[in-house]
Amino acid sequence: MSKNNVEQYKVTSEPFYKSVEDEVELYEAAYKARMPMMLKGPTGCGKSRFVEYMAWKLQRPLITVACNEDMTASDLVGRFLLDKDGTRWQDGPLTTAARIGAICYLDEIVEARQDTTVIIHPLTDHRRTLPLEKKGELIEAHEDFQLVISYNPGYQSLMKDLKQSTKQRFGALDFDYPLEKDETDIVAQETGIDVETAGKLVQIAHRARNLKGHGLDEGISTRLLVYAGQLINKGVEPVSACIMTLVTPLTDDPDMRETLEAAVNTFF
């Protein structure tokens, strides 16, 4: 594997990540043991940013795959391609990560079909291997390779959940929206708006998060607060910025929108 191939996956500059508890130390210990990790928490609460930060801190290349229900095992492992000289094998992202010793982050793995999920099994136990069945090759994972998955506990139905045989291959860290002060700092830092305005956005999010399960499937994420702050920083009037980023994406229900708009109007 060429050096350039490794270099392109390196996180070159330090990502801004505000640690909330002892997750950085715990992850470092898990990485030392090359333990597969599961990051649990709602969408937009900082899981991906955390992985980027850890990859930078540990100086490992990072390969991220956004999983979806149409994804097949070949999308992860690789496939034969036809070109003018005949057929050529192309490694998928998981295979590349196993070869070069990257951290492979499978985002929202639950979205993938179960037959896709099981291909990670031999990589996540003592074998640390990945069979490329179509190619007839068995890859032994590089000693620095680590598998990380994200998992949103809110979304699962009985039909769509990880099997225990998959879950029990991972150590897990719980993530949630940061505490008020931390989230305010994050929004201010990420967007350039002042702390007072960032604090108001966080307050609106707190109101909305209380509505989870009472008409809202999920509360306002930190990611959406960052969007709101970015628009405000570009000069958009705060109420319009909030409606565009904190109300409209969240729900189509007119009553719920009215409730959220009222929360926005309380603060701006």
Between 64 and 96, whose beta carbon lies closer to ligand ADP? 64
d(CA 261, CA 204): 9
Here's the x/- map for ligand ADP, 168-207, by CB under 6 A: it reads as ----------x-------x---x-----------------
**Pair of tokens at residue 128:** 């640390």
Q: Residues 23, 27, 37, 46: which binds ligand ADP (CB under 6 A)?
A: 46
Residue whose entry in the numeric block shows the structure tokens 């034969």? 80
Report residue 169 as tokens. 């291959």
Q: Can you tell me whether residue 73 is helix, strand or coil?
A: helix
Residue 71 structure tokens? 């994804």
Ramachandran area for residue 46 (φ above 0: left; ψ -120 to 50: alpha; else beta): left
In the chain, DSSP assigns E strands to 37-40, 62-66, 78-83, 86-91, 103-107, 129-132, 137-140, 146-151, 171-174
Q: Which stretch binds ligand ADP (CB under 6 A): 42-50, 109-117, 128-136, 162-170?
A: 42-50
Do 77 and 129 form a contact (C-beta atoms < 8 A)? no
Residue 222 in the binding site for ligand ADP (CB under 6 A) = yes
For the beta carbon of residue 4, count every other beta carbon within 10 angstroms: 7
Q: Which of 30, 48, 141, 245 binds ligand ADP (CB under 6 A)?
A: 48
- Residue range at the interface with ligand ADP (CB under 6 A); choices 24-32, 45-53, 93-101, 249-257: 45-53
Q: Answer yes or no whether residue 223 interacts with ligand ADP by CB under 6 A.
A: yes
For ligand ADP (CB under 6 A), the number of binding residues is 18
DSSP state letter for 212? B
Question: Minimum Å distance from CB 69 to ligand ADP?
Answer: 18
| Smallest distance from ligand ADP to CB 155, Å | 12
Which residue in 62, 147, 149, 226 binds ligand ADP (CB under 6 A)?
226
Closest CB to ligand ADP among residues 129, 230: 230
Which region among 26-34, 111-119, 207-215, 222-230 touches ligand ADP (by CB under 6 A)? 222-230
Q: CB of residue 182 vs ligand ADP: minimum separation in angstroms?
A: 7
Nearest-CB residue for ligand ADP = 46
Is 76 within 8 Å of 116 (Cβ atoms)? yes
Query: How wide is the angle at C-alpha 92 spanned by C-alphas 90 and 94, nearest 5°?
Result: 145
Give me the residues paired with residue 215 across strands.
Answer: none
Q: Kindly list the residues in this chain that would bind ligand ADP in the complex (CB under 6 A).
A: 16-18, 20, 41, 43-49, 178, 186, 190, 222-223, 226
